[in-house]
Chains A and B, each alone.
Chain A
Amino acid sequence: MANTNSRRIRGDSSLNPTWHYWMLYLLPGVIIYIVFMAYPLLDSIRLSFFTGTGAERTFTGLSNYVKLFTDEVISTRFWTAFGHTWIFFAIHMLVQNVLGIIFAVILTNRTMQGSRIYQTIIFLPVTLSILVTGYLWKLLLSPVWTGDILNSIGLGALSKPWLGQESTALIVVSLVSCWQWVGMPTMMFFAALQGISEELIEAAALEGTSTWDLFRYIQFPLIKPVVGVVAILTFVNNFNAFDVVFSMEGANGAPNYATDIIGTFFYRVGIAGQHPVAIPDAGLGAAVATVIFLMLAAFVIPTLIQSQKEG
């Protein structure tokens, strides 16, 4: 969208005599972007070449990066966290976004009753703090607090320490995060579906299209750009995810690092330090952040260019 606009403005329109003119309008935005986004980003890259804290910071070249990838303990933690982040992402794509599309299609169906109420219910968790919902889910999922109730209604088999087993913890935490955020893709798909011209739907209905065919051949192709945007947002958010794991499993990504994702790994290394020593290594943390930034950029920029071309 931005591309087509700028192309039009750059043309020889009498309203926009020279480029000096529109540059002025961009200036406030550019300044805010530089001060609050670009500068901190570049500074954190700079920091990744230093070691120590406060006044004792010394330049060490690439040693933080070497440490990150060669130190046995640190590199193992990093790659574990990296792998978990991908699983976390996959579950969000499969559960959160698929559910989002399904909800949106149902909500926009013309025969749907009480659509507003369902919209509110689906969107409600988004407005709550994950620190609160995470804590509530922690209690709900703990056999200590809900085991008796589940046993009394014959569902005792569901009473498992889901968050304490290495095999289930990451999946369960991801699902709670999906529950929390499913409202976002739902609303985006909902808006996109509503943007589809009513005539198209009506014409299809007159031809006797099934709901599935309607979705497959009309709705889905038309909301494809939004699907791309949602996928990118999910990707970026998952690499920045931290709060859901922190509130449900703590900064260590318990049990035995089974829920350690990039966000918690970075927090331990760069900000808080691991209990009980608690001496963070800001330089190493910045190195982690820089590596993540490069990975994100390598993935997102081509995808963005691609989707802009299609759009």
Chain B
Amino acid sequence: MKKFVFVLLALLLLVPTVSIFAQDTLTMGSWRADDVEKMNALFDVYKEASGVQIDFQPTNPPDYNATLRLQLESGTGPDLMYVRSYATGADLYKSGYLAKINDLPGLADSLTEQNLAPWTIDGDTFAVPVIAVTHAVYYNKDIFAANNIEIPTTFEEFLAACETLKAAGVTPLANGVAEEWDILETFFLGMLPNYIGGAEERVLYESGEKKLNDEAFVKAYTDMAKVAPYLPTGFEAVTYNDSQILFATGKAAMFMDGSWTLGTYGDVDFEWGTFAMPAPAGSETAITFHLDAAIGMNAASAHPEEAKAFLAWLCTQEGVDALAKYLPVGMYPISKLEVTLEDAHAQEMLSLTNEKLTDVRFVWPALMDLYSPMNQAVISVLKGTDPQAAADTVEVAFEALKK
């Protein structure tokens, strides 16, 4: 009897080792814990095409960076992994954990240099971009129709529309500042390219050639402040969740938000759409199209060929189609190839970027340390601080960082 138990235990111990050698299974790390089902569907498509199984192993989003680093340091990192844009991802590459993929077949055909920039350092590309988000104004078509309002084409028209709505007793905008991050990321950074331009201008600010309290910035803060009367009463205490409810229940007519909430309004009982936050008269409307996530491969992977094949597949039309189909609504695949989305609202929001200048969120590439100062500056102008004074605080913070 004892012997039997012993043999049984020995067999049980063998099972995991056997299964590792038996099949080609790649593992993938991610912070997108909400997407397990959809990603598994995507991997099923890939398995059919290639015979390689991918196992999605997401971590709790806030812990991803730390967990991934620990795994990589101890040699237990996943074969494939989500890589954050700019510094966080570049750090991993510099530590030697990510493979260089410049010669990946199809890479240049599918992605532009601008697409790859967040995951390229000194000419070395280390991940294939997969998820982008965009920012726009959600609007209630029924309320717009009832008040004879057209989609505004300039910021002045936008303010006029807000005034009409306010006079009619409707809260024009659902945005609030209680949670702080949303007013900066979705609203201010969403409309900032209208005032300062795209990537070419952005780098001038990063290098210090242009000041963060120059005319363009002050104008942006000034226009931000003009929005304050049209936010909900007590917007100081309105949370992101409150804003969503205000818009979804038809209490507010508009909501400047990111594309990631597109799926939230699936069952509201009114017609809605999205439009790009218009630039002031005389300027071209631009859009913040933020490159958020890429997939890279572990430099120490036991299955380098298979991992590389998957990344190459992501650069094919078939791969882009699968991404378009299985990424959560409002998270867009990044590609030069044709992207067709099933969700009409998502397609509409993506089409806003057509023919327009786009850039990532201003602080992400190099000025992440200015996130908090800029966040507070934006909130302070809404609460009545002078726009010039608010812009100055950000420039002062930038100067302090350079020391």
A interface vs B, CB < 8 Å?
53-56, 72-73, 138, 141-145, 147, 159-165, 249-250, 252, 254-256, 272-280
B235, A164: Cβ atoms under 8 Å?
yes
Give the distance in Å from the alpha carbon of A55 to the alpha carbon of B73 in the complex.
Answer: 7
Does residue B372 face the partner (Cβ distance < 8 Å to A)?
yes
B372, A250: Cβ atoms under 8 Å?
no
Give the distance in Å from the alpha carbon of A147 to the alpha carbon of B234 in the complex.
Answer: 9
CB within 8 A of A143: which of B177, B233, B239? Answer: B233
14 contacts between A and B (CB under 8 A): A54-B69, A54-B70, A54-B73, A138-B239, A143-B232, A143-B234, A144-B232, A162-B237, A163-B178, A164-B177, A249-B178, A254-B179, A255-B180, A279-B88
CB within 8 A of A160: which of B74, B177, B181, B234? Answer: B234
Known: A255-B379, A256-B379. A56 touches B239 (CB 8 A): no
Closest CB in chain B relative to A69 CB, distance in Å = 17
A250, B66: Cβ atoms under 8 Å?
no
Does residue B260 face the partner (Cβ distance < 8 Å to A)?
no
B234, A144: Cβ atoms under 8 Å?
yes
B238, A144: Cβ atoms under 8 Å?
yes
Which A residues lie within 8 Å of B69 (CB)?
A: 53-54
Give the distance in Å from the alpha carbon of A298 to the alpha carbon of B89 in the complex.
Answer: 44
Give the distance in Å from the alpha carbon of A254 to the alpha carbon of B66 in the complex.
Answer: 25
A254, B234: Cβ atoms under 8 Å?
no
Does residue B371 face the partner (Cβ distance < 8 Å to A)?
yes
**Given known contacts A53-B70, A144-B237, A164-B176, what 18 new A-B pairs fall within 8 Å (CB)?**
A54-B66, A55-B70, A55-B73, A55-B74, A141-B237, A142-B242, A143-B233, A144-B242, A147-B234, A160-B234, A161-B235, A165-B236, A249-B178, A254-B178, A272-B62, A274-B372, A276-B371, A279-B65
Known: A255-B180, A256-B376, A275-B181. A53 touches B238 (CB 8 A): no
A54: nearest chain-B partner, CB-CB: B70
B245: nearest chain-A partner, CB-CB: A144
Q: How many A-B residue pairs have CB under 8 A?
A: 89
Known: A255-B178, A276-B371, A279-B65. A147 touches B400 (CB 8 A): no
Give the distance in Å from the alpha carbon of A275 to the alpha carbon of B185 in the complex.
Answer: 11
As a 0/1 sequence over residues 272 to 289 of chain B, the CB contacts with chain A under 8 angstroms (1 = contact) are 000000000000000000
A143, B376: Cβ atoms under 8 Å?
no
Give the distance in Å from the alpha carbon of A190 to the alpha carbon of B250 in the complex.
Answer: 51
Which B residues lie within 8 Å of A54 (CB)?
A: 66, 69-70, 73
B180, A277: Cβ atoms under 8 Å?
no
Which A residues lie within 8 Å of B62 (CB)?
A: 272-273, 278
A255, B236: Cβ atoms under 8 Å?
yes
A144, B246: Cβ atoms under 8 Å?
yes
Closest CB in chain B relative to A223 CB, distance in Å = 40
B70: nearest chain-A partner, CB-CB: A54
Which B residues lie within 8 Å of A56 (CB)?
A: 73
Residue with the greatest number of chain A CB neighbours at <10 A, chosen from B62, B185, B237, B400? B237
Give the distance in Å from the alpha carbon of A56 to the alpha carbon of B66 in the complex.
Answer: 12
Closest CB in chain A relative to B36 CB, distance in Å = 21
A159, B180: Cβ atoms under 8 Å?
no
Give the distance in Å from the alpha carbon of A291 to the alpha carbon of B358 in the complex.
Answer: 47
Which B residues lie within 8 Å of A255 (CB)?
A: 177-178, 180, 236, 379
B371: nearest chain-A partner, CB-CB: A276
Does residue B368 face the partner (Cβ distance < 8 Å to A)?
yes
CB within 8 A of A164: which of B178, B246, B368, B376? Answer: B178
CB within 8 A of B234: which of A142, A249, A275, A279? Answer: A142
Known: A56-B73, A138-B239, A144-B246. A276 touches B181 (CB 8 A): yes
Give the distance in Å from the alpha carbon of A302 to the alpha carbon of B73 in the complex.
Answer: 46
Does residue B27 face the partner (Cβ distance < 8 Å to A)?
no
Which A residues lie within 8 Å of B236 (CB)?
A: 161, 163-165, 255
